[in-house]
């Protein structure tokens, strides 16, 4: 069954695991506590037990080889000169069969996915034809899987007939996949259980069963004690929670009462302040009205003052212009008077000069007549 499961899809490789010896491994726990569970023998003595273990060891060995087929196929040129042409040819044919199976499965899965997307047309004839085609292609998978199983057996037979090639192959193996290694680890663990079972005789099996029953009774008794203690703990916790809850509720009630009292006082204080606020608001409105009247009167007075100031300024400017005009007129008049006086004085001088000249001429004429 293991070979059939691994032959369908080749697993990746890994380093060869250490073969388990046909002896029991010593337990790390104290021998006095586990003495009824430890077999008295450390080696298999009956032929039947040795044959069973031999079959299981051979199976594990074959599984190790089967998990190397993928590595062999991917390193064909490197291993051809080491393993021989017959082995590598069988590996190549096995790889081709596995690849064909994998491609067919992927192709069918893709077609089924597309049909699921088009399920609304399932009543159409072409939809049923596609389903029939997929079923026919699926019918070709079992023969192909059987070919892979036969190919796995043939390749494994060639490897087992060439132990030297197997040892060389294990030295070339870098690593296995996690799935393959996990499967081999499970087989090794199964071998350990089976080996311990084969080492245990009837008397030891009876003692082991009795020991396990005693352990179970102790476990049930201890579990009963644990359950009782847990119930007591739960009851104590409930009582404590009930006390903690009552205390918390009482404290909360006290806080609520204190809050209500403080809020009542705050409410009374707020109502008083609200009354004062309303009164002050009424007074503020009255003062605001008075202020508006005073502002209006002040505006009128200021307007009148501005008008009067403007008129006074205009009157002063007019007076200033009149003063300047009067000054100018006075200056012109004075100038005119001065000029008039000067002219009159000039005329008087010219007249006096003329008279003097006439008098001189007359005197001169008188002297001339006298000389004559």
pLDDT single digits (tens) 243-291: 878 888 888 889 999 988 988 898 999 899 999 999 999 999 999 998 8
pLDDT digits (tens, 9 = 90+) for 354-365: 666 666 666 666
Predicted confidence at residue 5, as pLDDT, reads 40
- Against a cut of 0.75, is the pTM above it? no
For the CA atoms of 157, 160, 164, 170, the dihedral, rounded to the nearest 10 degrees, stands at: 100
Which two structure tokens, joined as six digits, stand for 172?
């070339």
pLDDT at 179: 85
Radius of gyration of the chain (CA): 67
Question: Cα 88 to the chain's mean position, in Å?
Answer: 52
Partners of 23 in beta bridges: 43
Rounded-to-integer distance, Cα 24 and Cα 26, Å = 6
- Between CA 281 and CA 15 the distance in angstroms is 97
Per-residue pLDDT tens over the stretch 199-212: 777 777 777 778 88
Q: Using an 8 Å Cβ cutoff, are 194 and 52 in contact?
A: yes
The helix-helix angle for 85-117 and 76-83 (nearest 10°) equals 140
* Cα–Cα distance measured from residue 143 to residue 132, given in angstroms and rounded to the nearest whole number: 19
- The Cα 184–Cα 57 span in angstroms is 11
Q: Is the dihedral of CA 313, 315, 321, 327 positive or negative?
A: negative
Distance CA 273, CA 259 (A): 20
* 34, 39, 43, 48 alpha-carbon torsion, rounded to 10°: -150
The b-or-e profile of 160-178 (16+ CB within 10 A means b, else e) is eeeeebbeebbeebeebee
Q: How far apart are CA 275 and CA 281, in angstroms?
A: 10
Provide the residue-wise pLDDT of the chain in tens; the chain has 372 residues: 344 444 443 333 333 333 333 333 444 444 445 455 555 566 777 888 888 888 989 888 888 888 888 878 877 777 777 778 888 888 888 888 888 888 888 988 888 888 887 777 777 777 778 888 888 888 888 888 899 899 889 888 888 888 887 787 777 655 677 888 888 889 999 888 888 888 777 777 777 778 888 888 888 999 999 999 999 988 888 888 888 788 888 888 899 999 889 888 989 998 999 999 999 999 999 999 988 898 889 889 989 989 988 998 898 899 999 989 889 998 898 888 888 888 888 777 776 666 666 666 666 665 555 554
């Amino acid at each position: 069954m293991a070979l059939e499961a691994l032959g369908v899809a080749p697993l990746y490789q890994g380093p060869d695991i250490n073969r388990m010896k046909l002896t029991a491994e010593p337990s790390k726990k104290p021998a006095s506590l586990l003495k009824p569970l430890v077999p008295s023998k450390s080696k298999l003595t009956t032929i039947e037990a040795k044959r069973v273990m031999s079959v299981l060891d051979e199976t594990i060995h074959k599984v190790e080889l089967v998990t190397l087929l993928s590595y062999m196929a991917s390193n064909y040129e490197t291993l051809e000169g080491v393993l021989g042409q017959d082995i590598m040819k069988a590996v190549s044919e096995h790889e081709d069969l596995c690849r064909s199976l994998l491609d067919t499965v992927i192709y069918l899965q893709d077609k089924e996915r597309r049909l699921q997307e088009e399920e609304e047309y399932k009543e159409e004839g072409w939809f049923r034809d596609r389903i029939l085609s997929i079923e026919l292609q699926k019918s070709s998978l079992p023969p192909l899987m059987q070919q892979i199983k036969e190919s796995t057996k043939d390749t494994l037979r060639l490897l087992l007939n060439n132990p030297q090639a197997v040892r060389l192959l294990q030295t070339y193996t870098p690593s296995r996949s996690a799935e393959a290694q996990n499967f081999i680890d499970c087989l090794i663990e199964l071998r350990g259980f089976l080996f311990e079972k084969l080492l245990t005789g009837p008397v030891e099996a009876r003692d082991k069963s009795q020991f396990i029953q005693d352990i179970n009774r102790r476990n049930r008794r201890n579990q009963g004690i644990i359950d009782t203690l847990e119930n007591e703990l739960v009851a104590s916790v409930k009582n404590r929670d009930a006390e903690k809850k009552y205390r918390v509720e009482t404290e909360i009630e006290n806080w609520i009462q204190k809050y209500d009292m403080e809020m009542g006082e705050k409410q009374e204080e707020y109502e008083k302040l609200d009354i004062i606020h309303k009164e002050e608001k009424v007074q503020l409105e009255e003062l605001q009205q008075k202020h508006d009247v005073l502002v209006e009167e002040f505006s009128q007075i200021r307007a009148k003052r501005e008008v009067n100031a403007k008129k006074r300024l205009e009157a002063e400017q007019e007076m200033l212009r009149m003063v300047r005009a009067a000054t100018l007129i006075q200056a012109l008049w004075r100038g005119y008077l001065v000029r008039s006086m000067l002219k009159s004085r000039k005329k008087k001088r010219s007249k006096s000069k003329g008279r003097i000249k006439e008098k001189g001429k007359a005197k001169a004429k008188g002297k001339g007549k006298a000389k004559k």
